[in-house]
């Protein structure tokens, strides 16, 4: 994307980034009623709605933090569609009885849909990464986590009580291993086909 112009609703994204409780409350008051009504109409209850809303807001926060999410559509449409799809996926993954949720395509404009897609893609990628990281040996996992948290490799070496050269070498081996796991997974191939 070539630096798109942010929608004025970008302020809600900023609110999540800055943990602004007044604005967060506004998000609930303005945009959540619709989500709750939708979920209740489709086999869910208040507590389902509560989870879906919270999870969705956390994903938006993470994408905004990591990838500088720029909203080019109204927050309302973006948020509602994300929640809707999340609920739909949850229904698909549980034994709840078959339900069909009609995606009212006419009401979704392309811009919102694209932003929603980017958020969903982001979530799939981070999930894949965490899954693969967890599949690694504990030694590698700890080393990777530590080197991500602490910028200086010298400090990491001191913390682990090993030499600087060893940490550098071991890190590149572990990271290489992780890269291979990610690159060769079928999820990664699927994601890149999207």
Partner 1 sequence: MNAEEYHLIEKYLNNDLTEDEQNDFDSRMEDEQFAKKVRVYKEVSESLKAQEKSKHGEEDLKLTLEAVSSEFFASSKKNGRTIPLRNIYWAAAACIVLALSFVFIISWPSGPNYNDYSDYEPLTLSSRSENQSLTMAAEEAFNGKKYTEAAKLLNQLLKADPENPRLKVYLAISYIEIDNYTAAENLLTDVAQGKSVFQSAASWYLALGYLRQDKTNACKKQLEQIPETSPYFNRSKELLDKL
**What's the CA gap between 11 and 142, in Å, rounded?**
37
Residues in the interface with partner 1 (CB under 8 A) total 44
Smallest distance from the beta carbon of 83 to partner 1, in angstroms?
A: 13
| Selected binder of partner 1 within 140, 160, 175, 191 (CB under 8 A) | 175
Minimal CA–CA distance to 119: which of 93, 95, 152, 85? 85
Residues 44-103 that bind partner 1 (CB under 8 A): 46, 49-50, 53-54, 57-58, 61-62, 65-66
Q: Which residues of 41-50 are buried (b: 16+ CB within 10 A; e: fewer)?
A: ebbbeeebbe
DSSP conformational letter for 4: P
179 or 190, CB closer to partner 1?
179
**What's the CA gap between 194 and 180, in Å, rounded?**
20
**What's the CA gap between 23 and 57, in Å, rounded?**
13
Smallest distance from the beta carbon of 163 to partner 1, in angstroms?
A: 15
Instruction: End-to-end CA distance of the chain: give it in Å, rounded.
Output: 16
**What's the CA gap between 107 and 30, in Å, rounded?**
19
22 or 105, CB closer to partner 1?
22
88 or 188, CB closer to partner 1?
188
Check residue 185 for interaction with partner 1 (CB under 8 A).
no
Stretch that binds partner 1, among 4-12, 21-29, 97-105, 156-164 (CB under 8 A): 21-29
Reported for 61-64, long-range contacts at CB under 8 A and 24+ positions apart, including other chains, are 61/16, 61/17, 62/122, 62/126, 63/118, 63/119, 63/122, 63/123, 64/13, 64/16, 64/17
Site string for partner 1, 115-144 (x = CB under 8 A): ----------xx--xx--x----------x
Smallest distance from the beta carbon of 70 to partner 1, in angstroms?
A: 16
| Contacting positions for partner 1 (CB under 8 A) | 16-17, 19, 21, 24-25, 28-29, 32-33, 36, 46, 49-50, 53-54, 57-58, 61-62, 65-66, 125-126, 129-130, 133, 144-145, 148-149, 168-169, 171-173, 175-180, 182-183
């Amino acid at each position: 994307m070539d630096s798109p112009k942010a929608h004025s609703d970008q302020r809600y994204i900023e609110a999540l980034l800055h943990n602004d409780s007044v604005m967060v409350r506004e998000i609930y008051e303005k945009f959540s009623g619709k989500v709750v009504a939708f979920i209740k109409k489709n086999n869910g209850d208040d507590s389902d709605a509560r989870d879906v809303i919270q999870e969705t807001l956390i994903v938006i926060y993470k994408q905004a933090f990591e990838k500088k999410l720029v909203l080019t559509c109204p927050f309302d449409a973006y948020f509602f569609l994300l929640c809707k799809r999340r609920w739909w996926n949850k229904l698909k993954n549980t034994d709840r009885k078959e339900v069909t949720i009609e995606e009212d395509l006419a009401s979704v404009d392309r811009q919102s849909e694209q932003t929603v897609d980017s958020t969903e893609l982001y979530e799939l990628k981070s999930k894949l990464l965490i899954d693969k990281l967890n599949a690694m040996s504990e030694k590698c996992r700890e080393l990777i986590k530590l080197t991500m948290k602490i910028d200086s490799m010298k400090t990491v070496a001191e913390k682990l009580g090993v030499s600087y050269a060893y940490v550098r070498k071991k890190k590149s081996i572990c990271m290489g291993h992780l890269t291979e796991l990610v690159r060769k997974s079928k999820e990664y191939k699927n994601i890149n086909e999207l």
